[in-house]
Chain A
Amino acid sequence: MSYSKTSIWQPMSSEVASLSIWGAFARQFMRHCKSLVGSPADAINPLLFFFMVVTLFPLGLGPDPQRLAGMAPGILWVVALLSSLMVSAKLFASDYEDGSLEQLAMAPYPLAVLVMGEVAAHWIATGVLLALVSPVFATMLGLSSAALPTLVASLMLGTLSLTLIGAVGSALTVSIRRGGLLLSLLIIPLNVPVLIFGTTAVSEAVIDGNTVSWLALLGGLALGSLALLPLAIGAALRVSLDN
């Protein structure tokens, strides 16, 4: 079975037409995972970016451990947001350029479902990985170890929303040359609630306060985005193909 990008969604192929919706989703998911395994830089570069920007803060703010620890929740979340912004710019770019997006749009399945396979793989490669690695950077900034589980949980939930919102922005700007700056204008305002809920959850964890309700809000955002945004992503991709 070949996984060459342009041929798998030939609408005439009988094999493709016989897949269930879940099968189609899984197929798209696996395809994207394989391409990530093929070029691990796509998953590692955001981590490197995260690491480097975290390094900048002590250099800019001074090495005072107390001050850094106080700002750590905000720093970690802002940098996570920036790195998600950076990776979502390229989310649909290669699919658009090599024409596989057009094939995808003609496939006999809802575009929203197919795209979600791609977004899910992308989230695991960037968001989940970032959340799992974040305790290392948090410890370097002096965040109290009691807050680390909350940090990981909040980043897990939060990056799901960030990835979905980023996918909407990426789908809207994929047909525009030099859409990178426009992308940040489009999605930064939409990311504000995620940033506020995430930072507050971690800050509350530091003072042993009420983290559950803030994590619940993040979870609610993630569920809401999961329910509504795939439709927006699908519609935006169809618009981009028309441009």
Chain B
Amino acid sequence: MWTIIHKMGSPPWFFRISGVLVRWLLPITVMLLVCGALWGLLVAPPDFRQGNSYRIIYIHVPSAVVALAGYYVMAFAGAVSLIWRIKMADVTMRAAAPVGAVLTAIALVTGAIWGKPTWGTWWVWDARITSMLILLFLYLGVVALFEAYENKTAAARACAVLSLVGTVNIPIIYKSVDWWYSLHQPASIKFTGESAIDASMLYPLLLMIVAFYCLFAVAVLLNMRAELTWQHREAGWLRQIVSGA
């Protein structure tokens, strides 16, 4: 266990492994995304109530799911960095924050576009949309806090504290927003009931969720590699890789 953690904390090892990983994962991700999108857009049947507008679900739900999971990834990296002071965990946290923020923003924008044909307005203070908005603020807070600190080691630890507090708070926020919405639910907006989703619609959705997870991993790894290249620009092992390439 310890040897693995130590290896993961070693930049040369990580740089080599992540290079191989990205080379494989990036084409696979693109393929999964294209297949899933085409399947969802062109092959899957339309919803009997919402018609074709429901096809937005194939990007809305995956981005929302991965955005939420991304916050936990970030907070976990923050905890590792606080407890073991591993530099690589700082880099992971720093790399995951903007990716998560972009995914959250995508979930919000697609949700708003979906709302127009379904509910007739661009924005509805629906429980899930409101929770995503708050998640976006949480992400932006982490990014802004990191940028505001001059000492980047201290910045990473400050972001770790903030994201841990946020992690504990996220379930409470989700639950409270849920209750708030059920208390105030306007009569004009009918919630589509929890009906069982047909397999012909479910499979492309699952495919897209897997694709978005892969995309999150690829984007975080690429960010980490770019950051590591700059941090270790004077190091011999990196110079060797560069001149060898």
By a beta-carbon cutoff of 8 Å, the part of chain A in contact with chain B is 165, 168, 172-173, 175-176, 179, 182, 185-186, 188-190, 192-193, 196-197, 200, 221, 224, 228-229, 232, 235-236, 239-240, 242-243
Distance, CA A146 to CA B149, complexed state (A): 48
Check A189 against B173 for contact (C-beta < 8 Å): yes
Residue B185 is within 8 A (CB to CB) of chain A in the complex = no
Q: Which residues of A contact B150 (CB under 8 A)?
A: 243
Check B151 against A168 for contact (C-beta < 8 Å): no
Residue B109 is within 8 A (CB to CB) of chain A in the complex = no
Check A229 against B158 for contact (C-beta < 8 Å): no
What would 28 A/B residue contacts be, using CB atoms closer than 8 Å? A168-B161, A168-B165, A173-B145, A179-B148, A182-B145, A185-B137, A186-B145, A186-B162, A189-B137, A190-B138, A190-B169, A192-B134, A192-B176, A192-B177, A193-B169, A193-B172, A193-B173, A193-B175, A196-B177, A197-B176, A200-B180, A200-B183, A224-B168, A229-B165, A235-B82, A236-B158, A236-B161, A243-B154
Check B161 against A239 for contact (C-beta < 8 Å): yes
Q: Which 3 A-B pairs have the closest CB atoms?
A: A193-B176, A189-B137, A243-B154
Residue B153 is within 8 A (CB to CB) of chain A in the complex = yes
What is the CB-to-nearest-CB distance from A227 to chain B, in angstroms, rounded to a whole number? 11
What is the CB-to-nearest-CB distance from B181 to chain A, in angstroms, rounded to a whole number? 10
Residue B43 is within 8 A (CB to CB) of chain A in the complex = no
Check A242 against B151 for contact (C-beta < 8 Å): yes
A189 and B134 contact, Cβ closer than 8 Å, known pairs A172-B145, A182-B144: yes
Q: Which residues of B contact A235 (CB under 8 A)?
A: 82, 157, 161
Q: Which residues of B contact A197 (CB under 8 A)?
A: 176
Distance, CA A243 to CA B180, complexed state (A): 39
Q: Which residues of B contact A175 (CB under 8 A)?
A: 149
Residue B8 is within 8 A (CB to CB) of chain A in the complex = no
Q: Which residue of A lies closest to B138 (CB)?
A: A189
Q: Which residues of A contact B162 (CB under 8 A)?
A: 168, 172, 186
Distance, CA A172 to CA B168, complexed state (A): 17
What is the CB-to-nearest-CB distance from A226 to chain B, in angstroms, rounded to a whole number? 13
Check A243 against B149 for contact (C-beta < 8 Å): yes
A242 and B154 contact, Cβ closer than 8 Å, known pairs A185-B140, A188-B137, A196-B180: yes
Distance, CA A177 to CA B209, complexed state (A): 41
Distance, CA A175 to CA B179, complexed state (A): 37
Distance, CA A158 to CA B82, complexed state (A): 29
Give the most central of A228, A235, A240: most B CB within 10 Å: A235
Q: Which residues of A contact B165 (CB under 8 A)?
A: 165, 168, 190, 228-229, 232
Distance, CA A58 to CA B140, complexed state (A): 33
Residue B141 is within 8 A (CB to CB) of chain A in the complex = yes
Q: Which residues of B contact A200 (CB under 8 A)?
A: 179-180, 183
Residue B166 is within 8 A (CB to CB) of chain A in the complex = yes
Distance, CA A186 to CA B142, complexed state (A): 8
What is the CB-to-nearest-CB distance from A180 to chain B, in angstroms, rounded to a whole number? 11
What is the CB-to-nearest-CB distance from A1 to chain B, in angstroms, rounded to a whole number? 35
Distance, CA A242 to CA B150, complexed state (A): 10
What is the CB-to-nearest-CB distance from A143 to chain B, in angstroms, rounded to a whole number? 18
Distance, CA A168 to CA B149, complexed state (A): 16
What is the CB-to-nearest-CB distance from B166 to chain A, in angstroms, rounded to a whole number? 7
Besides A172-B161, A193-B169, A242-B151, 12 other A-B contacts (C-beta < 8 A): A185-B137, A185-B141, A188-B137, A189-B135, A189-B138, A189-B169, A189-B173, A190-B166, A190-B169, A192-B173, A196-B177, A243-B158
Distance, CA A192 to CA B82, complexed state (A): 26
Q: Which residue of B lies closest to A235 (CB)?
A: B161
Check A239 against B141 for contact (C-beta < 8 Å): no
Q: Which residue of A lies closest to B135 (CB)?
A: A189
Check A176 against B179 for contact (C-beta < 8 Å): no
Q: Which residues of B contact A242 (CB under 8 A)?
A: 151, 153-154, 157
Q: Which residues of A contact B158 (CB under 8 A)?
A: 172, 236, 239-240, 243
Q: Which residues of B contact A224 (CB under 8 A)?
A: 168
